[in-house]
């Protein structure tokens, strides 16, 4: 794809980013690589030339405002809570993310994490590896199982639907909570998260981090799930009250939890790490070579398309869907 502008725009990469993004962009644009999205790192020359950002980290209003000619922010990842998209939209700046290309991978991980959580498979493997099968006999019968479970999905978007399809194939009934019912979805809908939690015993969260969802999965939700309850989170850690989750797991308010995301990554509370009924992953739901490369390609393609003759983004986020390229 050929960049159409007479003066080639510079693209800034603040912080760590999948190397394929830079590989795809470097032949078309001068790249500016910074340690972070700190406006103090920008020189006057950078401010004059940068018109795009490719990022997997934080891009706040201050960094956006420090770049007077900025036109597009290509976020690496479907979740873009690190980008102040509302502020960007108010400034007429496009924000894109990478939906679809990671949907199936994350859904696979969600189901695998659920099975690990209820059947304690990582602990059973550790039992074997530590020689305890030989010394002590078979691993204990697990109190948890998928049999007879009722699944509730918090966040019935692309990934939520993919998780639902997989778990429906296990013969499990599905219900969900969103801000509003999803057209064409036949699963039972509950207008509040607490109503959903009370109706199921297994809650899978795929919800994004927004001001409305911050710590929405709280003590009341765990109480509604009940003593046989299982909570799995592949959405965002900020949606969970982690102290309430630790208390619920410790006291037996719920049976178990499987988490791929945390509030302050990579800093996982020691109290969670110490719990035997918590199955924990280091935010790896989309972490395969195949999927991360596809995400990198889509992030790069958004910038290439924006600065081509087409002058459009491929996957704009809702907050900037109405933004158009400047003449």
Q: Which of 236, 242, 292, 319 is catalytic?
A: 236
- Which residue intervals of the chain are DSSP H helices? 19-25, 44-49, 61-65, 85-90, 103-119, 121-129, 132-136, 158-168, 193-199, 219-225, 242-251, 270-273, 289-306
| Residue 5: both structure tokens together | 């502008």
Active site residue 105: no
Q: Which of 91, 150, 283, 311 is catalytic?
A: 283
For residues 276-291, b (16+ Cβ closer than 10 Å) or e, as one string? ebbbbbebebbeeeeb
| Residue 168: both structure tokens together | 């429906």
- 8 Å CB contact between 208 and 236: yes
Helix axes 158-168, 103-119, angle to 10 degrees: 50
321 burial level (CB within 10 Å; 0-12, 13-18, 19+): exposed
- 8 Å CB contact between 97 and 208: no
Q: Which of 86, 265, 290, 312 is catalytic?
A: 265
DSSP code string of 122-174: HHHHHHHHTTHHHHH-SPPPPS--STT--EEEE--SHHHHHHHHHHHTTT--E
Torsion of CA 253, 255, 256, 257, to 10 degrees: -50
Active site residue 283: yes
19 burial level (CB within 10 Å; 0-12, 13-18, 19+): exposed
Positive or negative, the CA dihedral 48, 85, 326, 32 is positive
H or E segment and range at residue 202: strand 202-205
| Residue 142: both structure tokens together | 């697990």
**Residues annotated as catalytic (active site), given as ranges:** 236, 265, 283
């Amino acid at each position: 794809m050929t960049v159409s502008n007479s003066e080639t725009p510079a693209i800034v990469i603040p912080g760590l980013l999948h190397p394929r993004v830079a590989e795809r962009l470097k032949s078309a644009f001068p790249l500016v690589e910074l340690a972070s999205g700190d406006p103090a790192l920008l020189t006057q020359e950078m401010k004059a030339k940068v018109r795009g950002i490719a990022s997997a980290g934080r891009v706040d209003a201050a960094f956006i405002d420090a770049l007077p000619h900025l036109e597009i922010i290509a976020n690496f990842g479907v979740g873009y809570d690190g980008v102040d998209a509302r502020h960007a939209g108010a400034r007429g700046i496009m924000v894109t993310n990478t939906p679809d290309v990671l949907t199936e991978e994350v859904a696979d991980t969600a189901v695998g994490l659920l099975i690990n959580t209820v059947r304690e498979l990582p602990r059973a493997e550790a039992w074997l590896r530590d020689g305890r099968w030989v010394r002590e006999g078979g691993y204990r019968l697990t109190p948890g199982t998928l049999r007879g479970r009722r699944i509730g999905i918090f966040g019935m978007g692309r990934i939520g639907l993919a998780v639902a399809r997989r778990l429906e194939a296990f013969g499990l009934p599905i219900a969900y909570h969103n801000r509003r019912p999803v057209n064409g979805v036949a699963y039972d809908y509950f207008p509040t998260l607490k109503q959903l939690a009370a109706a199921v015993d297994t809650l899978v969260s795929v919800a994004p981090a927004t001001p409305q969802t911050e710590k929405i999965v709280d003590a009341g939700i765990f109480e509604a799930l009940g003593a046989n309850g299982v909570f799995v989170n592949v959405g965002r850690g900020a949606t969970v009250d982690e102290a309430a989750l630790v208390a619920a797991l410790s006291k037996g308010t719920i049976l178990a939890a499987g988490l791929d995301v945390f509030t302050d990554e990579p800093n996982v509370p020691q109290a969670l790490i110490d719990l035997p009924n918590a199955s924990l992953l280091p935010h790896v739901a989309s972490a395969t070579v195949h999927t991360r490369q596809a995400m990198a390609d889509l992030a790069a393609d958004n910038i290439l398309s924006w600065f081509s003759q087409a002058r459009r983004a491929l996957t704009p986020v809702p907050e900037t869907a109405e933004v158009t390229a400047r003449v």
